[in-house]
């Protein structure tokens, strides 16, 4: 059975996905998730060559594996830069349940992770959101953050493409601004494919929260050394971020805690200082979203196979 992108989007709602992702992050920290490092194969040695990754996981009653590709040059062709599929299986029997579009799942679960982090880490008085980037993740994050941030008053958008920034601003009721104005917001989302830093620490407020979701790769980074070293770094997964984040590896920054440790009360959230929440994406998040899609579809059809 194949579940299309349209069906996935119809089944997933941030109101359900965000709390499910929150629990998944707690379960990961508690050791209740079997998740090996993702396997990545490069398609070639060219500068713009893409990569192919395999991400397996076992948690609860399910097994899942996502295969995902990233080809940055696809943008010039009018194609998605990220494409993915997720297979969901029953853990007890190994029975394949569904193969579903993973592009929408990747888009929405990434934003849901950031929404969970925002709820745990942001200052109560935060009112402004600055976004560096104007693509799919920028749009999905606006939708997800609005679910957990009713006090959001202003969205500032910067992009290397001024036209794209204006387009997104018109869609979400925000403003296209210069980089320094976006970076001065209470909360700053970095969602670019830049291989070199675009966010400088000297532009950030003293208690800014940075949600860093772009530039995944050990040699890529969006934040400069000052931004990383002047902040409390909280990781989606300590092991994954230390292995796969160029922002952490190349700056020499130390991960202070996993978000799951803060969510379960083991570690207190940092206060009175800058915070960088770094995520690189994990298979448990894909499984969590795929499980919701499967269960929602089954409920709608009256199917007992859940």
pLDDT at 51 over 80: yes
In a domain, 86, yes or no: yes
135 and 88 in a common domain: no
CATH number at residue 80: 3.30.1780.10
270 and 173 in a common domain: yes
Of 17-21, 38-42, 232-236, 287-291, the least confident = 38-42
37 and 150 in a common domain: no
Identify the three-state secondary structure at position 143: helix
249 and 196 in a common domain: yes
In a domain, 45, yes or no: yes
Domain that residue 247 falls in: 121-280
Q: Give the rounded percent of residues in the chain with a pLDDT score beyond 90.
A: 86
pLDDT given at position 216? 79
243 and 156 in a common domain: yes
In a domain, 116, yes or no: no
Matching residue, tokens 């925000």: 174
231 and 294 in a common domain: no
In a domain, 141, yes or no: yes
In a domain, 149, yes or no: yes
Return the structure tokens found at 292: 């919701």
269 and 289 in a common domain: no
pLDDT given at position 302? 74
pLDDT at 102 over 80: yes
pLDDT at 46 over 80: no
Matching residue, tokens 């990754």: 53
158 and 270 in a common domain: yes
In a domain, 40, yes or no: yes
Return the structure tokens found at 124: 């109560």
| Tens digit of each residue's pLDDT (9 = 90 or more) over 135-161 | 999 999 999 999 999 999 999 999 999
- DSSP category for residue 158: E
Return the structure tokens found at 184: 């001065």
| Tens digit of each residue's pLDDT (9 = 90 or more) over 210-258 | 999 998 788 889 999 999 999 999 999 999 999 999 999 999 999 999 9
């Amino acid at each position: 059975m194949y579940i299309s992108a349209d069906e996935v989007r119809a089944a997933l709602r941030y109101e359900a996905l965000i709390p499910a992702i929150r629990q998944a992050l707690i379960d990961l920290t508690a050791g209740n998730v079997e998740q090996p490092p993702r396997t990545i194969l490069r398609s070639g040695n060219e500068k713009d060559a893409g990569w192919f990754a395999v991400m397996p996981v076992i948690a609860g009653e399910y097994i899942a594996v996502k295969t995902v590709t990233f080809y940055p040059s696809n943008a010039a062709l009018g194609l998605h830069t990220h494409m993915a599929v997720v297979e969901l299986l029953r853990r007890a029997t190994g029975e394949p349940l569904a193969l579903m579009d993973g592009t929408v799942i990747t888009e929405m679960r990434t934003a849901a992770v950031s929404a969970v982090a925002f709820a745990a880490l942001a200052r109560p008085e935060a009112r402004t959101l600055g976004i560096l980037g104007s693509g799919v993740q920028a749009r999905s994050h606006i939708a997800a953050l609005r679910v957990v941030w009713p006090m959001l008053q202003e969205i500032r958008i910067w992009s290397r493409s001024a036209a794209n920034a204006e387009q997104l601003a018109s869609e979400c009721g925000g403003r296209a601004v210069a980089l320094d104005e976006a970076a001065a917001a209470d909360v700053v989302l970095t969602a670019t494919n830049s291989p070199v830093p675009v966010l400088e620490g000297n532009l950030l407020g003293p208690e800014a929260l940075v949600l860093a979701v772009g530039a995944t790769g050990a040699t890529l980074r969006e934040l400069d050394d000052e931004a990383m070293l002047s902040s409390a770094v909280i990781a989606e997964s300590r092991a994954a971020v230390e292995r796969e984040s160029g922002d952490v590896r190349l700056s020499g920054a130390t991960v202070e805690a996993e978000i799951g440790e803060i969510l379960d009360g083991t570690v207190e959230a940092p206060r009175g200082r800058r915070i960088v929440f770094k995520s690189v994406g994990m298979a448990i998040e894909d499984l969590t979203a795929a499980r919701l899609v499967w269960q929602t579809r089954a409920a709608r059809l009256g199917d007992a196979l859940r």
